[in-house]
Amino acid sequence: MTEILPHLTAALNALAGLLLAVGVVLIRQGRVALHKKVMTAAVMVSALFLVAYLAHHFSAPVFVFPGQGMVRPIYFAMLISHVALAALVAPMIVVTFRRGRRAEITEHRRLARWTAPIWLYVSLTGIAVYLLLYHVYQPTT
């Protein structure tokens, strides 16, 4: 089971990022009702991602990134920014979502302008980290 968790988390992360991007497009088109549904799905998928991610990291052995050369500092810079911004954006997502659900539109918009691009960056860099770890540089066991 633990061997599928990185792939599951990557798929959930990608789906959440896609839903987020669709939600942003929908609200820019003025399609509020559909935006709410898509963003609810994005938050739910992100919650599933978080459960799978924590299960993976509490059960999987730690391995060192094997890449060498210029990819190594690029990888670690991306990883550090990804982890820091993921920790920052998680509560932002909760508050933004709650404000939207409560129809606190002005406050929701104000925070969503920051939350959406950070969340999208975290999603994209998470996918990039996954690809580097599991497809470009195979982990050694």
Confidence (pLDDT) at 67: 87
CATH of the domain at 63: 1.20.120.80
In Å, what is the CA distance from 116 to each residue of 16, 45, 78? 11, 15, 18
Q: What does pTM read for this prediction?
A: 0.90
Domain count, the chain: 1
The structure tokens listed for 65 are 């990134």
Q: What is the mean pLDDT of each run of 10 residues along the chain (141 residues)?
A: 86 97 98 98 97 89 83 94 97 98 97 98 96 78 48
Residue 97, domain member (yes or no): yes
Residue 141, domain member (yes or no): no
Residue 15, domain member (yes or no): yes
Residue 65, domain member (yes or no): yes
Confidence (pLDDT) at 139: 53
Confidence (pLDDT) at 1: 61
56: domain range? 5-136
